[in-house]
Structure 1
Amino acid sequence: MVINETDVTVRYQETDQMGVVYHSNYFVWFEIGRTRLIEQLGFDYIAMEEEGILAPVIDIQASYKTPVRYGQTARVETKIAEYNGFRVTYSYKIFTEDNQLSVTGTSTHVCVKKSNFRPISIKKHFPELHETYLNAMES
């Protein structure tokens, strides 16, 4: 299984009055991890968008365990949890800099045509990406 690890240094504007990362910022970190995983696999969103394809979120969830605080560096681990040729679910774990599990979560995406927002088959339109996703889950 391919797992991307990305470090994120907590910026002041990402925290609340207690110096704790505000909950919605973890979703931004999920996106950073997801983008880096896709790049690690040899693909990028820009190329897909240039072909008129978008990958919107259709479901997202997070469970909060331990806070990450201002000035710390968090580690985001991202992997492909499920993939069926149409939908892909990414799984995330965020760790504090002392390696405590802070947040777990998932996001599910489908690829759609930008022109009409109708879903497309990744398997059919992006066969290389399809094979790469299958291999990334197995390896």
Structure 2
Amino acid sequence: MQSNQNQLQHTEEIRVRFNETDPLGIVWHGHYITYFEDGREAFGRQHGLTYLDIQKAGFVTPIVKSTCEHFLPLKYGETFRIKTTFINSRSAKLIYQYHLYNGDNKLVCSGETIQVFLDSDNNLCLYNPEFFQAWKNKMELE
């Protein structure tokens, strides 16, 4: 679903697994970053920009910055939605914002990740790789 000229979004539903919780049944804070990854992967499948697509083009995209703000806890057995939004940038990077909502549609957590492109020699790309620019053009993000 395209929300405007500079953003694409995808929403995925996830169930909290037992191994993601502490002895009180509350999700351990470190798992929220994993939920962000789940959101990125679902976004990539929906919009044609998976990690395998990036790897096939000869690049990797390490995370260089991540932020996460917690507002409410998630508990074992709950189902929640993660809304992942791609933030368009002229820079050679992937910027994603995340919003997690519980079953009552209350904001549980929000965050952002920034990834950069490294070529097969682990050199930082200062310009959009050709495959990524082609994807942005296809998505009408320019």
Band the TM-score falls in, shorter-chain normalisation: 0.7 to 0.9
* Structure 2 residue aligned with 1:16: 22
TM value normalised by structure 2: 0.85
Structure 1 CA distance, aligned partners of 2:43 and 2:93? 16
**Would you say 1:37 and 2:43 are equivalent positions?**
yes
Cα–Cα, structure 1 residues 73 and 113, in superposed 2: closer, same or farther, change >3 Å? same
Which structure has the highest helix share of the two? Answer: 1
Cα–Cα, structure 1 residues 91 and 19, in superposed 2: closer, same or farther, change >3 Å? same
Give the 4+ runs in structure 1 shifted more than 4 A.
none
What amino acid sits opposite 2:51 in the alignment?
Answer: Y
The count of corresponding residues between Structure 1 and Structure 2 is 136
TM value normalised by structure 1: 0.87
CA contact (8 A) 1:83 1:134 kept: no
**Would you say 1:73 and 2:76 are equivalent positions?**
no
Q: Residue 118 of structure 2: which of 112, 119, 127 is its match?
A: 112
Identical pairs, percent = 25
Residue 39 of structure 1: how far off its partner (Å): 1.9
RMSD of aligned alpha carbons: 1.9
Question: What do the CA deviations read for 1:82-124 (whole angstroms, capped 9, x no partner)?
Answer: 4224122110000111111000000001111132242252254
Structure 2 CA distance, aligned partners of 1:89 and 1:126? 13
Stretch of structure 1 that moved more, 26-35 or 43-52: 43-52
Residue 55 of structure 1: how far off its partner (Å): 0.8
Question: What do the CA deviations read for 1:14-69 (whole angstroms, capped 9, x no partner)?
Answer: 01111111111111110111111122112321122123210110100000000010
Structure 2 CA distance, aligned partners of 1:99 and 1:126? 34
**Would you say 1:57 and 2:84 are equivalent positions?**
no
Cα–Cα, structure 1 residues 93 and 87, in superposed 2: closer, same or farther, change >3 Å? same
Structure 1 CA distance, aligned partners of 2:138 and 2:90? 13
Unaligned runs of 5+ in 2: none
State the SS of the aligned residue for 2:86: strand
What pairs with 1:88-103 in structure 2 (closer than 5 Å)?
88-103=94-109
Unaligned runs of 5+ in 1: none
Stretch of structure 1 that moved more, 126-135 or 78-87: 126-135
Cα–Cα, structure 1 residues 33 and 132, in superposed 2: closer, same or farther, change >3 Å? farther
